[in-house]
Structure 1
């Protein structure tokens, strides 16, 4: 295989957790294969008049906390100099990120292979994208109107989960139940007094056993990790203390993946992490889904090898 120039638009490399970060796992695999690994941050992008370029650092990476990379070279390069560009900026997806997805598409030469597609990232809000498949989801309401949200909560005796549309890492997710005297105050806080829509979702009792993060590469499920919440929390996100545990896929989960596959591939969403709770799809994470490192450790696999395999295959057709 010809050696490739692989670019990673990501958060500061200095801050990654080498045994947890999925982007770093892919960088390690690319470096192991002899590809050139270049990293840059969102703020390093600029448009020169013909092609978007960025200050890029060519790095050598290793799994050593505290000294996990060396900068081999640093220079300004156009997007067209990359064979593959991994768009791996962590949420939140804000206006600056949307602008970045537009900038990286401006290539005077041949554009790189994008993982994931900039247009797909703009379209696929991680909380709302799943609404394309309402029959796979718990009953869900999106609204800013307090009366609508209050009525939704009242219709679900087991309670409801409330979460911000642009939330991430478990932030801002709360449990509400009819008759709770905190509910009105929670709705005021989450909707900014009715100015911002939020998501209300029927509570799934199986959530106490954990939710499942499933990694799909080119639409195919390659592994999963069960994220079990702590005793004093309702959230299984590892960012807020959820415990990763070994798991396998059920027939229902494979059905969910099969239903999603055509739409994901159509939109160029090649590396995706979906969240499944009980028998229900809850989120489709496309920005920088995590879980690769945990699945690798628990199952003795190397999912990032499949991702780099796909990058090589697509780059060969470029």
Structure 2
């Protein structure tokens, strides 16, 4: 079986933390052929979508974590499965890549390109207004300031296409920097951002829950470091064990039909104090941290499910 990974450059992978790399290791362990692809390596010719590809061998050894054993151009139809694991931003290049791989003929695509285009990771959660904290999406600095006031003068502002906690700001009434922060976040009122009520429960942790086919299979708590708002591991968050509450399971149950309808078979949701804050579908992470904290092998479970899907 040949598994393709449409991803960021393998040279930049953080071996001890990267979930895509964990999947590559698991595929290799099972004897599957793994190929690396990149967005700018895709093209359409002679009636089919093709790509430059690298067949690689991987090992959990930082600085020497992969070896190229083959490099060539080939149609996507040579693959059995293509995992779309490119990190945000979901920009023009990202969208074009999803359109190219969808032209076919080709392999099983996970997650589905149409679903990736439809489900912005910040906005998708707003389809469930009773599950999320009070929220506003706007480029208007006047509206954003009024919203922050309505939340007791304490809120969080984040870009709609970021990842890893990049650009997330805590904004408070009375802060002399507030006008400047909102100008920076919105590019002086030209770019919409998401504003949400600040959730004090984030100090206890931001729970990442991994869903496979709409079912929760693992979770980890990401706790922000002292003096830091963000709990993302990319921003220095600390992993802690956790379990699923009845509220967590209810959130997963509510999301499952919408995710499955869009072909978003694999997702990672973020829950703070029982409130859904994000739905991650481009390249859900935290496999390693879940396994370290609970012993549950997310990568092994995922690849086993892949094999079952095309058996």
Shorter-chain TM-score range: over 0.9
Structure 1 296/158 Cα, relative in aligned 2: closer, same or farther at 3 Å? farther
1:209 aligns with 2:204: yes
Alignment partner, residue 54 of structure 1: 51
> Helix, strand or coil for the counterpart of 2:50?
strand
What is the Cα deviation at residue 180 of structure 1? Answer: 2.0
Large movers: runs of 4+ above 3 Å: none
What is the Cα deviation at residue 158 of structure 1? Answer: 5.7
What is the Cα deviation at residue 15 of structure 1? Answer: 1.6
Distance in structure 1 (CA, Å) of the matches to 2:54 and 2:125: 36
What is the Cα deviation at residue 30 of structure 1? Answer: 0.8
Question: TM-score, normalised on structure 1?
Answer: 0.95
Aligned 1:85-100 pairs, distance under 5 A: 85-100=82-97
> Helix, strand or coil for the counterpart of 2:156?
strand
Contact 1:217 1:306 in 2 (8 A): no
Contact 1:26 1:304 in 2 (8 A): yes
Residue 166 of structure 1, aligned match among 154, 161, 169: 161
> Helix, strand or coil for the counterpart of 1:193?
coil
1:154 aligns with 2:149: yes
Contact 1:25 1:304 in 2 (8 A): yes
Residue 74 of structure 2, aligned match among 62, 77, 86: 77
Distance in structure 1 (CA, Å) of the matches to 2:142 and 2:306: 48
Contact 2:87 2:163 in 1 (8 A): no
Distance in structure 1 (CA, Å) of the matches to 2:79 and 2:213: 21
Alignment partner, residue 120 of structure 2: 125
What is the Cα deviation at residue 68 of structure 1? Answer: 1.6
What is the Cα deviation at residue 179 of structure 1? Answer: 2.3
Alignment partner, residue 228 of structure 2: 233
Q: Provide structure 2 residue ranges, at least 5 long, that are not aligned to the other structure.
A: none
Alignment partner, residue 264 of structure 1: 259
Contact 1:158 1:203 in 2 (8 A): no
RMSD across aligned C-alpha pairs, in angstroms?
Answer: 1.1
1:306 aligns with 2:301: yes
Residues 171-206 of structure 1: CA deviation (Å, up to 9, x unaligned) = 111111222222111111111111111111011111
> Helix, strand or coil for the counterpart of 1:222?
strand
Alignment size in residue pairs: 311
> Helix, strand or coil for the counterpart of 1:235?
coil
Alignment partner, residue 275 of structure 1: 270
